[in-house]
């Protein structure tokens, strides 16, 4: 008899093979936002680099007051968070269960919060030293660029926290990865921006 038994699962236990046709992972609207963000930050990066041409001595002197360790550790936190996000999406796609994916969202969340904490400490240190937006051109760019980026990390952290909760509730699975993929694309964009920002603002002499 070919009648399926009532116990047969509605979805095959073996995860569906990844489709070979090229496909953008995540929501198109968010991807368009990502392009707009990249364009905006790209312009700001170029503005920083060309403002530096006019005030090289000032930029070099002010950059020396930044603590490179904060920038480097924050880079490690963001790339590790990115790996966590990628692993979470992978776990959901492969149907490895909410607890595995949940753990990876947790890793990403911890990395994001660590980034925000360190950056917060860095700002507190600078503000306590009387440094602000109007101190000089370097610090104006430093605060605007990293501050704008900080807000994006905050948004990515909130996104990942929601994904974590929803994953634990069982909202996502092998055929239901659209929202996690969208959140992941946003997180990775935030990481991508920092990858350029870190050498430009903290290291380039």
Partner 1 sequence: MSLLKNPVDRVWLVLVAATLVTWWLGEGGWARTGGAAAVALMFGLAFLKGALIALDFMETRHAPPLWRRLLLGWLAGVMALIGLAWWLARWRSEG
Dist. CA 200–CA 205, nearest whole Å: 9
C-beta separation of 91 from 181 below 8 A: no
Residue 188 is a binding residue for partner 1 (CB under 8 A): yes
* Residues recorded for the chain: 205
C-beta separation of 183 from 84 below 8 A: no
* Residues linked to residue 173 through DSSP beta bridges, in sequence order: 176
Binding footprint of partner 1, residue count (CB under 8 A): 46
Residue 32 is a binding residue for partner 1 (CB under 8 A): no
Dist. CA 110–CA 19, nearest whole Å: 32
Q: Which residue has the tokens 């995540």?
A: 26
Span near partner 1 by CB under 8 A; candidates 76-84, 119-127, 140-148, 172-180: 76-84
104-135 as b/e: b if 16+ CB within 10 A = bbbbbbebbbbbbebbeebbeebeeeebeeee
Q: Which 88-147 residues touch partner 1, going by CB under 8 A?
A: 90
Distance of closest approach, residue 161 Cβ to partner 1, in angstroms:
19
Residue 152 is a binding residue for partner 1 (CB under 8 A): no
Distance of closest approach, residue 12 Cβ to partner 1, in angstroms:
22
Residue 163 is a binding residue for partner 1 (CB under 8 A): no
Choice from 33, 86, 113, 118 touching partner 1 (CB under 8 A) = 86
Which run of H or of E encompasses 30? helix 28-54
Residue 189 is a binding residue for partner 1 (CB under 8 A): yes
- Contacting positions for partner 1 (CB under 8 A): 18, 22-25, 31, 35, 38-39, 42, 45-46, 49-50, 52-53, 56, 68-69, 72, 75-76, 79-80, 82-83, 85-87, 90, 181, 184-185, 188-189, 191-192, 195-196, 198-200, 202-205
């Amino acid at each position: 008899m070919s009648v399926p038994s009532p116990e047969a699962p509605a979805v095959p236990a073996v995860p569906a093979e990844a489709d070979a046709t090229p496909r953008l992972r995540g929501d198109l609207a968010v991807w368009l936002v990502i392009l707009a963000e990249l364009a905006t930050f790209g312009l700001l990066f170029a503005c920083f680099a060309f403002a530096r041409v006019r005030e090289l001595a000032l930029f070099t002197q002010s950059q020396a007051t930044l603590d490179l360790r904060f920038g480097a550790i924050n880079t490690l936190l963001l790339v590790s968070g990115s790996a966590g996000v990628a692993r979470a999406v992978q776990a959901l796609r492969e149907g490895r269960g909410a607890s595995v994916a949940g753990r990876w969202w947790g890793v990403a969340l911890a990395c994001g919060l660590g980034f925000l904490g360190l950056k917060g400490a860095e700002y507190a240190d600078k503000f306590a030293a009387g440094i602000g937006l109007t101190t000089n051109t370097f610090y104006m760019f430093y605060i605007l660029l990293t501050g704008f980026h900080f807000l994006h990390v905050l948004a990515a952290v909130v996104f990942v926290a929601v994904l974590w909760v929803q994953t634990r509730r069982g909202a996502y699975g092998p055929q239901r990865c659209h929202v996690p993929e969208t959140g992941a694309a946003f997180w990775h964009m935030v990481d991508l921006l920092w990858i350029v920002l870190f050498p430009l603002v903290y290291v380039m002499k």
